[in-house]
């Protein structure tokens, strides 16, 4: 039958208060012996657990409410803003593509697609965002010839729009 709350049960029943501390001390020594026999991983886990317990104790000791009252709200806002700015810089650095060195045109892809030198020039102008008339003036050809070159580019690159042609040409390293 279990004892009342605070009353000894099991092996401690029938022992007086003077005998209990020895029993408790003996259990602590047994636990300490078991801890000393832990493997490297167990000791590491125990060390981290003790560090975590120490950190939790330290946080309680600092008294959070005291800090909130003594440090102004603007300081907390500044710390949070700086944290998010740092996080944004780190994420941006991790997600942006690294420079691969100088750009080299993929001549094998140009040959495989059957692009002419003039079509490559027109493709460069398309990537520059120029209209057909602007391309015609820059290359000293008629606007109808530009339309013909653009139509051939669409067929060879297997696309339907200028933006698709520019995107595919960049992926194939035909243009910068």
**Tens digit of pLDDT for each residue in 58-89?**
777 676 666 666 777 777 788 889 989 999 88
If we measure between CA atoms, which residue out of 120, 111, 132, 135 comes closest to residue 165?
Answer: 120
User: In sequence order, which ranges of the chain are alpha helices (DSSP H)?
Assistant: 20-36, 40-62, 64-70, 73-95, 107-113, 117-127, 132-139, 143-157, 162-171
Residue 133 CA to residue 44 CA, distance in Å, equals 72
CB within 8 A of 149, min separation 6: which ones? 118, 119, 122
pLDDT of the residue at 102: 79
The mean-pLDDT minimum among 22-26, 92-96, 151-155 falls in: 22-26
Ranked by mean pLDDT, the top range of 7-16, 68-77, 91-100, 157-166 is: 157-166
This prediction has a pTM of 0.46
- Confidence at 7, pLDDT banded by 50, 70, 90: low
């Amino acid at each position: 039958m279990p004892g009342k709350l605070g009353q000894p049960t099991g092996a401690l029943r029938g022992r007086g208060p003077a005998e209990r501390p020895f029993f408790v001390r003996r259990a602590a020594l047994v636990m300490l012996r078991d801890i000393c026999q832990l493997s490297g991983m167990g000791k590491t886990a125990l060390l981290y657990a003790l560090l975590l317990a120490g950190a939790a104790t330290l946080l309680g000791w600092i008294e959070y409410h005291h800090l909130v009252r003594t440090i102004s709200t603007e300081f907390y806002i500044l710390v949070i803003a700086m944290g998010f700015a740092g996080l944004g810089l780190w994420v941006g650095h991790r997600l942006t593509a690294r420079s691969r060195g100088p750009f080299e045109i993929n001549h094998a892809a140009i040959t495989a697609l059957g692009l002419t030198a003039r079509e490559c020039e027109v493709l460069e102008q398309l990537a520059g965002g120029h209209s057909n008339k602007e391309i015609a003036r820059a290359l000293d050809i008629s606007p109808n010839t530009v339309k013909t070159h653009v139509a051939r580019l669409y067929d060879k690159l297997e696309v339907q729009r200028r933006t698709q042609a520019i995107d595919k040409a960049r992926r194939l390293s035909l243009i910068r």
